[in-house]
């Protein structure tokens, strides 16, 4: 079953910082960038989506970032 990146993160107990490290997001605003991915405010670049799919073992894929998936009502992102 497909899931959003935030659903995966909460289910697996992964912190935003650990997620950023795992998918190779760097820089001074890396946490903010990942929160934008989680809230579907921003779509990751294709290489990042590939790393997300690898990190989540295919539970979150390219299709989960398509506009039809992103348009569904979003829940508030859980902060861990």
CB 60 within 8 A of CB 5: yes
Q: Check: CB of residue 8 under 8 Å from CB of residue 59.
A: yes
Query: Which pTM value belongs to this model?
Result: 0.80
Higher pLDDT pick, 40 / 8: 8
Better-predicted residue by pLDDT, 79 or 2: 2
Mean pLDDT in residue range 15-43: 95
> How many C-beta atoms surround the C-beta of residue 40 within 10 A?
19
What is residue 16's predicted lDDT score, i.e. its pLDDT?
97
Cβ distance 78 to 69 under 8 Å?
no
Tokens of 32: 């903010």
């Amino acid at each position: 079953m497909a899931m959003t990146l935030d659903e995966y993160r909460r289910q697996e107990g992964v912190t935003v910082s650990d997620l950023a490290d795992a998918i190779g997001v760097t820089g001074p605003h890396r946490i903010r960038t990942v929160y934008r991915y989680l809230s579907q405010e921003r779509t990751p670049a294709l290489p990042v989506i590939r790393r997300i799919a690898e990190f989540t073992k295919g539970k979150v894929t390219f299709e989960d970032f398509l506009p039809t998936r992103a348009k569904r009502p979003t829940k508030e992102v859980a902060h861990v």
